[in-house]
Amino acid sequence: MSDIIYTKVDEAPELASASFLPIIQKFAAAAGVTVGTKDISLAGRILATFPDHLKPEQRQSDDLAELGRLVKTAEANVIKLPNISASVPQMEAAIKELQSKGYALPDYPNAPQNDAEKEIRARYDAIKGSAVNPVLREGNSDRRAAKAVKSYAQSNPHRMGDWSADSKTHVASMSGNDFFSNEKSATLAKESTVKIVLETATGEIVLKEGLNFPAGTVVDATFMSVAALKEFLAAEIENTKANGTLFSVHLKSTMMKVSDPIIFGHVVKAFLAPVFEAHGDALAELGVNPNSGLGDMFARVQDNAAIMADIEACIAARPPMYMVDSDKGLTNLHVSSDVIIDASMPALIRAGGKGWGPDGNESDAVCVIPDNSYAPVFDETINFFKENGKLNPATAGTVQNVGLMAQKAEEYGSHPTTFEVPEAGTVRMLLDDGTVLHEHVVEAGDIWRSASTRKAPIEDWVNLAISRQKAENCNAIFWLDGNRAHDAELIAYVKPILEAQGVADKFQIMTPRAATRSSFETITAGNNSIAITGNVLRDYLTDLFPILELATSAKMLSIVKLMNGGGLFETGAGGSAPKHVQQLNDENHLRWDSLGEFCALGESLTFLAESKDNEKARVLGQAVDAATQGILDDGRSPSRKVGEPDNRNSHYWFARYWAEALSRQNSDTELAAYFTPVAKALAEGEEAILAELASVQGNAVDLDGYYRTDADKTANAMRPSKTLNAIID
């Protein structure tokens, strides 16, 4: 096994790797450090799942499973780039592309008709959504802006949209009967095996069995009433029209891969209710699935003039929709994975509460977030900015995050305990001794889900928070609501640990709404805060605050201290990656910023130095930090516009700064001697290298794929400078 594993992923981060990884490997080799790769891309995971359908030479090892074993050991040192959390449309597109390349994969069965199709569907569904992160995150999360990144953002503040007190933008959520209000939670007194059953008028349906939990596990169960959801959506569509604002819905169909696509489908049906009422049978015959969005629906009904006419008439009578791309006519409801709440809400807030409408103009928007579990965070953020005006990045402090996520904590999205209830009855969670742990009376179509959080990760999370607060000596808040069932169980863990360690006075426990306001008050005053949160809120806040503070969440330092001693170093968000790929394909310009990779690399090398007593790795890591600072200080990050420096330019400058830092240091004379001629060659080759990099821009690029590009074509596109390649290679 290599000393460091660098993950192979998807889209823009993977294209950038084709340029950056050869640099990392060559520099690391000089210190005797090996850097290998493991494929956790969507295409790679699909191929690994269906070896029985492939030729021997096409088969691929299950790298995710291998990494899952590695992260449970002290040997783990993994740099994880953002990967696709696939929605059904993305899954289907990836399958189609792989089939076109000669891989005899089965189609994704949207409506399985037999046991064979059900088995294929189950295998694909295991890949959908946030399937990677729960496997790799065998530790809790420490996410914060690196000091160099925060300093740069304050010295070079990004543009923020102006907020007005009379803005009509607001969050709309259900008044009850949602996941938040129906939640039940309990901490298991002993190790238990749990079964989930649906008891109906005609008998018992086993939804899931064989769930094993150790003593001390917090087990939750809840459901969303679809009748209440439908009533809420119908009313909100009318309210939005009356307000004269844009209609938008903000979900996370990529992470919440069972529940949120269903909710998204109900929004599509509510928005086009007259069409579904008039043409329900015809739409079903055409294979329309509202969960797949308007884009798929339009493609299926485009030849039916009557349905298309009714769709156009319905949309004209509805409030204007928030647009993903006004120029291309892509609406908020086209594809469920196009509007991801942790990216879409911060972007709208940063823009002063404005979204793009179908007329190409910015307007206030109603932000529909049906469930109240975390909607108050965004609601209070909007309220704060209406009252106080936009955040000033030049003077704002920072909100760090300590997130509970180890061992699939609070993982509502990826584990198989979320169900669309097939018929009315009572869902019960039964312990192996017959005890009813939780029960809910449900109707057909309701969305029922459960999650669990084990004792060891909770205790590790609290101790990590104590460690981070001690290191930062700043305001620290546990974002927990004592009136929410799950949070009350966590508080019962948190308080005794804080008291036992004599640090209870260093922390506050606040509801998410109150913590939101307190945190914004803190950073507006130029001070820092630590948000100590559960898994989902960790995901949301580590986009919300960085996007407002830094303009992007891709530049965050993300460290996962694995519970068995290893290290996982994540590189930020990839939500904008598809647009970056499109620009590369059209103009041969990649604006992806690898700053997150730079930060993760430095932390990985430092961790390697400490865990393996490798002083050369420590010198490499210190030089990475110097190179990262140089990138920021000298403005070497990628530009958004074709013809200007892009991702490949930033890698040249990083390599140069890295080599120069290594040549200057006096801790290791061998490394200094090795890198002195490298630094000299990179400096002397500047004019030729930059000219070669600039010469390829402006032309379309064919990578022979999106989900699985041709390796040679990708390397040629991402390493176009013969001068730079000769020095590195």
Helices (H), ranges, 248-400: 259-271, 273-285, 293-301, 305-317, 341-350, 375-388
Burial class (CB in 10 A: 0-12, 13-18, 19+), 494: buried
Burial class (CB in 10 A: 0-12, 13-18, 19+), 60: middle
Supply 693's token pair: 């990099």
Calculate the alpha carbon distances from 427 to 207, 418, 420, 440, 685 in Å: 9, 12, 11, 5, 68
**Helix-strand-coil percent breakdown of the chain, rounded to 5?**
50, 20, 35
Query: Tell me, what's the pLDDT at 573?
Result: 63
Long-range CB contacts (< 8 A, 24+ apart) of 306-312? Answer: 306/279, 307/275, 307/279, 307/282, 307/283, 310/274, 310/275, 310/278, 310/279, 311/272, 311/275
* pLDDT at residue 576 is higher than 60: no
Q: How many CB atoms lie within 10 A of CB 334?
A: 24
Residue 685 carries which DSSP code?
T
> Of the candidates 415, 416, 372, 450, which has an alpha carbon nearest to the alpha carbon of residue 188?
450
The Cα–Cα gap between 264 and 270 comes to 10
Query: Tell me, what's the pLDDT at 413?
Result: 62
The Cα–Cα gap between 407 and 453 comes to 8
Query: Tell me, what's the pLDDT at 327?
Result: 86
Q: How confident is the model at residue 131 (pLDDT cuts 50, 70, 90)?
A: confident
Query: Tell me, what's the pLDDT at 519?
Result: 98
Please give the torsion angle defined by the CA atoms of residues 12, 18, 21 and 27, in that order, rounded to the nearest 10 degrees.
Answer: -140
Query: Tell me, what's the pLDDT at 280?
Result: 93
Query: Tell me, what's the pLDDT at 557?
Result: 84
Supply 530's token pair: 């630590």
The Cα–Cα gap between 592 and 284 comes to 41
Query: What angle, rounded to 10 degrees, do the helices at 42-49 and 115-125 form?
Result: 140
Query: Tell me, what's the pLDDT at 103?
Result: 98
Query: Tell me, what's the pLDDT at 420?
Result: 96
Residue 698 carries which DSSP code?
T
Please give the torsion angle defined by the CA atoms of residues 239, 243, 244 and 250, in that order, rounded to the nearest 10 degrees.
Answer: -60
pTM of the model: 0.85
- ∠ CA(381), CA(384), CA(390), 5° rounding? 90
Classify 495 as helix, strand or coil.
helix
Q: How confident is the model at residue 86 (pLDDT cuts 50, 70, 90)?
A: confident
Average pLDDT in the 605-617 region?
A: 95
The Cα–Cα gap between 323 and 331 comes to 4
* pLDDT at residue 256 is higher than 90: no
First to last CA, the chain: 23
Calculate the alpha carbon distances from 20 to 652, 654, 726 in Å: 9, 9, 15
pLDDT tens readout for residues 360-383: 999 999 999 999 999 999 999 999
Query: Tell me, what's the pLDDT at 98?
Result: 98
* pLDDT at residue 539 is higher than 60: yes
Query: Tell me, what's the pLDDT at 707?
Result: 96
Which residues in 567-621 belong to E strands, given as ranges? 567-570
pLDDT tens readout for residues 285-316: 999 999 999 999 999 999 999 999 999 999 99
Classify 297 as helix, strand or coil.
helix
User: Which residues are 194's β-sheet partners?
Assistant: 211, 431
Calculate the alpha carbon distances from 182 to 179, 259, 343 in Å: 5, 15, 27
Instruction: Compute the mean pLDDT over every residue in the chain, rounded to the nearest whole number.
Output: 94
Supply 469's token pair: 């607060």
* pLDDT at residue 414 is higher than 60: no
259 within 8 A of 449, measured Cβ to Cβ: yes
> What residue has token string 């690898």?
594
> What residue has token string 């000769």?
726
Helices (H), ranges, 156-292: 226-243, 259-271, 273-285
pLDDT top residue among 574 and 33: 33
Classify 221 as helix, strand or coil.
strand
Q: Please give the share of the chain, as a percent, with pLDDT higher than 70.
A: 99
Handedness of CA 258, 264, 265, 270 (dihedral sign): positive
The Cα–Cα gap between 103 and 33 comes to 36
Kindly list the domain boundaries of the chain, sorted by start residue: 4-138+564-728, 170-178+225-391
Q: Return the HEC string of 383-432.
A: HHHHHHCCCCCCCCCCEEEEECCHHHCCCCCCCCCEEECCCCEEEEEEEC
Burial 70-104 (b: 16+ CB within 10 A, else e): bbbeeebbbbbbbbbbbbbbbbbbbbebbeeeebe
The Cα–Cα gap between 214 and 184 comes to 19
Distance from the Cα of residue 246 to its chain's centroid: 25
Supply 724's token pair: 């730079």
99 within 8 A of 595, measured Cβ to Cβ: no
Query: Tell me, what's the pLDDT at 575?
Result: 54
Query: Dihedrals φ, ψ of 7, to 5°?
Result: -80, 140
pLDDT tens readout for residues 183-236: 999 999 999 999 999 999 999 999 999 999 999 999 999 999 999 999 999 999
Query: Tell me, what's the pLDDT at 359?
Result: 92
Strands 323-325 and 330-331, bridge-based pairing = antiparallel
How many residues in the chain? 729
* pLDDT at residue 337 is higher than 90: no
Q: How many CB atoms lie within 10 A of CB 445?
A: 18
- ∠ CA(132), CA(134), CA(136), 5° rounding? 70
Calculate the alpha carbon distances from 302 to 56, 226, 276, 298 in Å: 41, 29, 15, 6
pLDDT tens readout for residues 4-46: 999 999 999 999 999 999 999 999 999 999 999 999 999 999 9
> What residue has token string 């290679």?
729
585 within 8 A of 701, measured Cβ to Cβ: yes
Q: Return the HEC string of 35-65.
A: EEEEECCHHHHHHHHCHHHCCHHHCCCCHHH
The Cα–Cα gap between 112 and 270 comes to 26
Calculate the alpha carbon distances from 423 to 228, 354, 432, 436, 449 in Å: 17, 41, 25, 20, 15
